[in-house]
Chains A and B, each alone.
Chain A
Amino acid sequence: MTDDQPRHGRADSAALALTFFSLGITLQVLLIDRGASLWNALAASTVIWSATSQFSYLAVRDAGGGDWAAIIAGAVVATRFGILATSLVPRLPAGAFRRALASVNAFDPNVAIAVQQADERCVEREFWRVTAAMMGGWFPGIVVGTFIGNVVGDIGRLGLDAVFPAALLSIIAGLLRTREGFAAGLAGACICLALIPIAPPGVPIILSVFGVGAGAVYAKRHIGVGP
C-alpha cells in the first residue's frame, strides 16, 4: 500500500471512457456479425456485464462448441470479477446494499483505483467516479456498435478480431509482471494450446484454471508463501 492516493483525473476518465466505448463497439459488431438481432445484442451486453465472458462464449461457439460448454467457459473467465470483488468489498463502508451495488460493478480499472486509496473515506467515491467513466463509454459504445454492426461488413478486414485479445492482455499486464502471475499465465496458455486440438471446444479454457498450480509452486519456492 502506498501513501500517495492515486486519483482518477479528467484525462484518465476520458481515456477510460474511450477504451470502453471502443470495446463496446467491437463486441456489438462481433455479435451482429454472428447473427444476433439488434435487441439480442443490446440485451446481452447490458445485462451480462462482462465483455470477457461474452467474448469467451463467442470464441467457444465459433470453435463449434455447444451452448453449455460456451456458457461454462464464459463463467470460468468471470472468476476474475469475483476475485476483484473480494479485494474491493472489505474496503467499502458498511451497508449490504451499497456493498452489493459496488460489487456487481467490480471491474479491473475501478477496483484498482479504489483499493489504492489510503483514506478509507475515499474508497467508495473513487470507485464510483471510475465506474461512471467506464459506463459513460460502454453504453454509448454498445448502442453505436449495434447499429453500425450491419454496415461494418467484414470484421476481419478491419482487424477487429484482434482487438479483444489485445485488450485482455493489456488488462492483465500488471498480474503478468509478477513472476508468479507470469508462471500462472504461461501455464494457462500452454494448457489451452495443448488441449485445443484434442479436447472439445470450451474445455481448454475451462481446464486452464489449473495453470494457477504453476504460479502457486513458484510463489511457494521463491517467495516463501503459498499453500
Chain B
Amino acid sequence: MTTLSIVALTVAVWGQRLLGGFVVGPVLARRPAMAQVLGLVPAAVVMAVIVQLSVADGRSLVLDERLAGMLVAGVLVWRRAPFLAVVLAAALTTAGLRAI
C-alpha cells in the first residue's frame, strides 16, 4: 500500500470511530429514526464490497469459481454456521473448482 493510503486510511478509520462515538452517537440517541437508517449503511456498503470481491475482474463482471465459493458461504451463513466454517468452505470450494 502507498504511504499516502496508509496515513489517509488510518485517519479515516480512527476518525470515524471517534466521530461516531463522541459526535454522532449523542445526536442519534435523540433521533431513533435517523439511527435506524444510519444503521443500514453497513449492509449496503459491505454488500457492494462483497460484489466487488466476488464477481468483478477489473471493470468487467465475471462468473467464476469465486462466485461458487460465495454461494456456498451464503447458504452456510443463512444456516447460521460458525464463522470459520463459512470462511473455510468458501476457500475450499473456490480452490477445489479451480483444481478441477
Residues of chain A having any CB pair with chain B under 8 Å: 15, 18-19, 22, 31, 36, 40-41, 43-44, 47-50, 52-60, 62-64, 67, 70-71, 74-90, 96, 99-100, 102-104, 106, 156-173, 175-176, 180-182, 184-189, 191-193, 196-197, 201, 204-205, 208-212, 215-216, 219, 225-227
Contact = CB atoms under 8 A, between A and B. Distances in A.
B28 A86 contact: yes
Main secondary structure of the interface of B (DSSP, over half): helix
Contacts of B69: 159, 162, 166
A60 B87 CA distance: 22
A39 to B, nearest CB: 11
Interface residues of B, number: 76
Given A176-B47, A189-B50, A196-B51, 18 more contacts: A15-B83, A43-B6, A47-B10, A48-B10, A63-B56, A67-B2, A71-B5, A75-B13, A78-B16, A80-B45, A90-B26, A103-B18, A159-B90, A159-B96, A169-B73, A173-B80, A175-B39, A225-B36
B44 interface: yes
